[in-house]
Structure 1
Amino acid sequence: MKLNFVLPRFMPGDPALSSLKNIQQQTGAVPTAAAVKAVRLFYGDPTRNLFQQYLKAVQRDGRVRRPNWLPAVGA
């Protein structure tokens, strides 16, 4: 999980746009608005810091629960 999270974020450019471009090249179809939104949700909000993005990704993955003392991500 850690490498899958970190590597795309440290590569140059926007990981969401790169994924969408790859999808378009492979399928020939222009990504729909729903596809763009789904990819953005997967990679996280680029305006948030990496720690918040990581916590949200881990929670979404279901492997780790947020401790009660830690503020909710996105709150």
Structure 2
Amino acid sequence: MVVLRWLIQRDVVVVPKSFRRERMAQNLDVFDFTLTEDQRGRIAMLDTRVSLFFDHRDPAMVSWLGGRRID
């Protein structure tokens, strides 16, 4: 829920996906609280700018991905 709220407060459009009714209700509960400036800053500092999968900022990786074709 905190991540959804953080994104919403940054004006990022979020589309949470869930099939479970309880989880859908939890996703809507993000509108009953706000994160402080300090909390948002601390969350933003968690970004290490390193991907666990691949570096989408690396021109060679972008070129490689752009060259993939789905048949």
Same fold (TM over 0.5): no
| TM-score for both structures, normalised by structure 2 | 0.29
Structure with greater contact order relative to length (CA < 8 Å, sep ≥ 6): 2
* Bigger proportion of residues as helix: 1
Q: Which has the larger radius of gyration?
A: 2
